[in-house]
Structure 1
């Protein structure tokens, strides 16, 4: 009885902390929105980002306090899962009790090269289709204006609201699918998903926000060099050891994509719509995005999550965090009103559907092939999309651009060849 009273008091204290932080956040948001000078400077995005993080803190900080109390008091060892409250807390903060020890886990069976190739082709094709649609709609929503029925021309600029809509639909799709198939909703402590959720929504926000300061081609160019940051983050988070050929092919892909983008379309070489704010946002996007995929890869490896469980867990936190930040935005009401515009509503729906499908394929790819292979697939997707644009619209690819795309695909083929040789060598060593 005493332990129940204590945990109830701690939860009540967390709720009070949430309320206090929400009030403080609301005051800060009001002060920012009433200060015209802050909203007009080039670095106003930094204030918005800090305010968003303050909104996330209203959820994360009380959760952190509760987690530290449960950990230091050895709550789960003392109470177990005897009550509904303890089971809820265990799902949020406790380690699974039904996982097999590493020593008795079944050995993974190596799949055939053909089956692996088919799976890789499926992931590549699906990601390309989903994110081609997503990229086009993202640029349209963030850069175009919408004509309302009363003749007013409105431009949408609330990146946080767009992130919330995308994550909400993805969460509902994943939850519905898990319930229909009667799969466990979680296979890892829920708080583990919060790390990649925070970096996921920050990277998405930075990506949308960057389009206000840099051209779309510049943003695409920055994404093409993500392979090396992802490998560095993999070493930092999971202590992953990469072979020499993986470093070589990563550099080849990055160099090839830079050559290809500067030589494949006039917009890529002459665009000057780039500012220091835009470059900073792109750098922050790359760091957060690299952490997200690497952390998800670590969760897949440790807890054997399914793609749907990962989609559900990450987007549950994403919805909670973005909703906490949006609750006190005065622009939120404007964004909700704009949803009454049929074209804007349809654009948001299609964007969210393509984002949900893309996320599901992302998690499937990371779970099956790892974060680095996923990043390479996305880089190749960008190259193919630009080649398609050149073919459809008659853009000329320069000699340097041709050399760049040849280098990218040569690196991808070299990686496949080296991986097959390394796998064959290890199999010979096992059987020897």
Structure 2
């Protein structure tokens, strides 16, 4: 062994240890103050999954709880402004604790685009909660894998197999059926909410792929991405709300309900900030589609808990249309293992077709013989 330190930390197969250490050029993988660099990929993935589920379940609960406040529906964008302000503060606290003096890695032009997409994703998503049944909003977010796949093709030039497109089709079908069910059982169903969450998904698809490309190219730390993305996004939104007059109205309303707005928003933002750190790590290590798959699976649990903690009408169509979406998620995960291409699919169809033709005469002869024997 090269050193006693290496012997102490890594015990077992030499090849495995070599893959873990990977030399001096191994990219640093950190979540807040926790260094995951020297864990294997499977352990990194499982730790990130556990963090995503724990934090975003609380995040979803607090988001829905805030919108139960009477009169809060028009203030989704102001909630986004508060959320961005908290995120900036959390980012600076983390940066000061780590005592990092590393200069900015990603160009400001890229951050300007990331800030715009982040604002669209979170602002439109928060606003849609005021117009949609929360499970419907979440089921839409479950299907962000569809625009993520499209974005990965357009932005990064990636190629996807037929299983990915089958997964996208299943998600679209389940989403349509879930929305139809919601429109039947919800007396206050508003199509404007569908428009808002759909636009949020388009921004979300772009932001995941832009983040992945930028973080891999420049190897920027997570807190840098958070501070600059949300800092510039905060300026965008503050100027827009100031000009439109919604900033003053939001301040007045929240001053009347400080605990239900600023207090709940603190917990909402804290869990969201920690969750973003983990999602960024997932994007860095596993790619945008896999990160989207993990967060989508978490949303399925969020939907179930929403019906448990908040009273709302339920129909069995919610269940089986949601299962179609889950099936689409499974197909996407399976596609990462099978690596099935369109050429392979064509060969399989051809083989099955020729096999069916070759067996047909034999099957008919067997049927005639059986009838004669009877």
**TM-score, length-normalised on structure 1?**
0.60
Unmatched tracts of structure 1, length 5 or more: 1-104, 146-153, 423-432
**Alignment size in residue pairs:** 304
- Establish whether residue 216 from structure 1 lines up as the match of residue 134 from structure 2: yes
Whole-angstrom CA distance in 2 between matches of 1:402 and 1:277: 22
- Establish whether residue 361 from structure 1 lines up as the match of residue 278 from structure 2: yes
Task: State the match for 1:168 in structure 2.
Answer: 85
Task: Quickly say closer, same or farther: Cα 1:185–1:397, change in 2 above 3 A.
Answer: farther
RMSD (Å) for aligned C-alpha atoms: 3.6
- Establish whether residue 316 from structure 1 lines up as the match of residue 231 from structure 2: yes
Contact preservation (8 Å) 1:178, 1:308: yes
> SS at 1:158's partner residue?
helix
Cα distance, 1:227 vs. partner?
A: 1.0
Task: State the match for 2:145 in structure 1.
Answer: 227
- Establish whether residue 135 from structure 1 lines up as the match of residue 39 from structure 2: no
Task: State the match for 2:324 in structure 1.
Answer: 404
From 184, 195, 213, the equivalent of 1:298 is 213
- Establish whether residue 381 from structure 1 lines up as the match of residue 301 from structure 2: no
> SS at 2:74's partner residue?
coil
Task: State the match for 1:418 in structure 2.
Answer: 338
Greater gyration radius:
2
Cα distance, 1:393 vs. partner?
A: 9.4
Whole-angstrom CA distance in 2 between matches of 1:328 and 1:402: 41
From 106, 119, 133, the equivalent of 2:44 is 119
**TM-score, length-normalised on structure 2?**
0.69
Whole-angstrom CA distance in 2 between matches of 1:373 and 1:256: 20
Contact preservation (8 Å) 2:69, 2:260: no
Structure ranking higher on relative contact order (CA contacts 8 Å, 6+ apart): 2
Matching of residues 57-206 of structure 1 within 5 Å = 115-145=40-70, 155=72, 157-183=74-100, 184-206=102-124
Whole-angstrom CA distance in 2 between matches of 1:392 and 1:324: 37
Task: Quickly say closer, same or farther: Cα 1:371–1:137, change in 2 above 3 A.
Answer: same
Contact preservation (8 Å) 2:88, 2:226: yes
Task: State the match for 1:370 in structure 2.
Answer: 287
Unmatched tracts of structure 2, length 5 or more: 1-23, 29-35, 342-374
Task: Quickly say closer, same or farther: Cα 1:284–1:409, change in 2 above 3 A.
Answer: closer
Cα distance, 1:253 vs. partner?
A: 5.2
